[in-house]
Amino acid sequence: MSDRIEGGCLCGAVRFVVTGEPLNVAWCHCESCRRHSGAPVSVFMAVRRGEFEVGKGEITRYNSSPGRWRGFCARCGSTLTCEGNANSPEVHLHIGSIDGAARFVPTRHIFPEERLPWLHLADDSGDAN
């Protein structure tokens, strides 16, 4: 895998780069992620905060719950990040914001107990690890 991952929003106002490998890629079934993305499930790539940098524009953040910030492009509304406070060692990037996202395959499920009952995936393990 490449040691440089790039991505950004739909309109191009925000661009970011990750130097280093992802920590993991996971399906998230929580209601907050569904509401933020407008999709029945979200897929995130976790990266080290120190390896993530916004190179163009600015990510607008919304404090969706205590200690949880949702990031998006203020211009086009693209969903970009989900992260903890500034001391958190990780940033979670929505897979749809990643250039060449097809190469990053989810390997686990988060909050499987909140999964919509009609959502059936090829990877139906429900593993929460």
What CATH number corresponds to the domain at position 28?
A: 2.170.150.70
pTM: 0.86
Report if residue 9 sits inside a domain: yes
Residue 41 domain-assigned (yes or no): yes
Residue 126 lies in a domain: no
Assess if residue 128 is contained within a domain.
Answer: no
Q: Is residue 121 included in any domain, yes or no?
A: no
User: Is 119 domain-assigned?
Assistant: no
Q: Which amino acid is at 79?
A: T
127 domain-assigned: no
pLDDT in tens, 50-79: 999 999 999 999 998 888 899 999 999 999
* pLDDT tens column, 83-125: 988 788 999 999 999 999 999 999 999 988 988 889 888 765 5
Closest CA to 129 of 113, 111, 105, 115: 111
Q: What gap in Å lies between CA 124 and CA 72, rounded to an integer?
A: 29
